[in-house]
Amino acid sequence: MDLLALLLVGFFAAGASMFAGADIGAALRTGAFKGDQQRRTALAGFGTLCLSHEVWIVATAALVNAFYATAEESLFLRAYPWIVLLLLGWLARNAGLWLRGRVNSRVWRWLCDRALIGGARVFAASWGVVLAYASGGAWWAMAANALALPLLLARHGNAYLRLRLHEGPRPLRARPLLLGVLLTLGASGAGFTVALATGLLAALALLTSDEMAQQNRDFPALAATAAAVLTPLLPAAVSIPAHGAAAGVLGPVGTTAVIMLPFLLTAQALTWWIFRHRVRAPMYL
């Protein structure tokens, strides 16, 4: 039963990292689009699927709260201000994204852009710190992760935008060495082997992504950055389950999750299918 809990949390956390992470990364990259039309087109590029992707974060949080309540409690106590920053960053990113197009004023748009990009940056950095806390890292592990996650997510977001937009951004240099080292340091709390594995896998995935981008193969490039974005979860995945999953809650919630999974995945796939075309013009946002 403990395995089921781990699989479920892992599944939704992976989804959250790949999908919601792409939206955070894309938000980080909006600054690269100059001119209001281009920027609004970029927002439409990732904004249409943003709502569908956010749900993965909520589902992960709810499952961690249900299955690993004790571990969550101890993590939240230690990482308290970083959890608050994480939420504030996410709040700001969402506010900037959804409110930007509602008022036709340059000042308003500037403010919303700052909220959008700044919020995404705060979210990514705080997420890195929280992951380091989760794997029991020292202060320098947290610092390394705080630097690494925004860079990593930005690359993932860039690859995502290259796929979603008719006129996507130029490929971003993957920096596999820098990110590999930073992620290894960030994962150090989980022990030498796990940390090394994290860094190596991330570096490998990023190298692949670079190569695919050079060959103009956008979808494989995105798949590679997606794999890279999953690696920081490894040290946390190793550390959290050591606390054990709450027994009584696994039955009702686990069953619900397993039953709902086909419906949830169908709804997601339907959304991706409907919005499969590349975006070339602004939309509601």
Partner 1 sequence: MSNDLLLARLQFAFTAAGHYMFVVLTLGLAALLCLMQTRAVLGHPTLRTARMEAVRFWGQIYIINYGLGIVTGLVMELQFGLTWPGLSQTAGEVFGIPLAVEALVAFFLESTLLGLWIFGWDRIAPLAHTAILWGIALTAYASVVFILIANGFLQDPAGVRMQDGVIKLESLTAFAGNPAGLVAVPHIIFGSLLAAGAVMAGLSAAQLRRRHLRAPEEVRLFESSLRWGFTAFCVAVAPVAAFGTLQWDILQPAKFASWQGDTAALAAIQADAVARFGPGDYLPPAGWVRGAALLMLGCWGVMAVAAATALTTVLVKGKAWLYTRKWMHRLLILVAPVPFVAVLGGWIFREVGRQPWIIHELVTTASAASHAGAGDRLFSFVAFSTVFALLVLINWWLIIRHARRHPSAVSLGSRQPAEVSSWIS
By the criterion CB under 8 A, which residues form the site for partner 1? 47-52, 54-55, 57-59, 61-63, 65-67, 69-70, 72-73, 76-77, 80-81, 83-84, 87-88, 90-91, 94-95, 97-99, 101-103, 163-164, 166, 218-219, 246-249, 252-253, 256-257, 260, 263-264, 267-268, 270-271, 274-281, 283-284
**Residue 275 gets which letter from DSSP?**
T
CB of 26 to partner 1, least distance (A): 13
Alpha carbon 104 to its chain centroid, in Å, reads 30
What are the start-end ranges of the E strands in 168-276?
none
CB of 183 to partner 1, least distance (A): 25
Residue among 2 and 177 whose Cβ is closer to partner 1: 2
Nearest Cα to 190, choosing from 198, 181, 200, 182? 198
Task: Tokens 């103009």: give the residue.
Answer: 216
Residue among 70 and 177 whose Cβ is closer to partner 1: 70
Q: Which two tokens mark 283?
A: 């939309």
Residue among 49 and 226 whose Cβ is closer to partner 1: 49
Residue among 124 and 183 whose Cβ is closer to partner 1: 124
CB of 199 to partner 1, least distance (A): 29
> Given phi > 0 = left and psi -120 to 50 = alpha, else beta, which region is 138?
beta
Residue among 50 and 179 whose Cβ is closer to partner 1: 50
3-state SS assignment for residue 172: coil
CB of 166 to partner 1, least distance (A): 5
Task: Tokens 């197009």: give the residue.
Answer: 101
Residue among 31 and 252 whose Cβ is closer to partner 1: 252
Q: Distances from the Cα of 182 to the Cαs of 8, 131, 134, 179, 200, in angstroms?
A: 28, 13, 17, 5, 11
Residue among 192 and 255 whose Cβ is closer to partner 1: 255
CB of 195 to partner 1, least distance (A): 26
CB of 126 to partner 1, least distance (A): 12
**Is the Cβ–Cβ distance between 80 and 61 less than 8 Å?**
no
CB of 212 to partner 1, least distance (A): 12
Q: DSSP per residue over 52-94, as a string?
A: HHHHHHHHHHHHHHHH-HHHHHHHHHHTHHHHHHHHHHHHHHH
CA pair distance 209, 100, nearest whole angstrom: 32
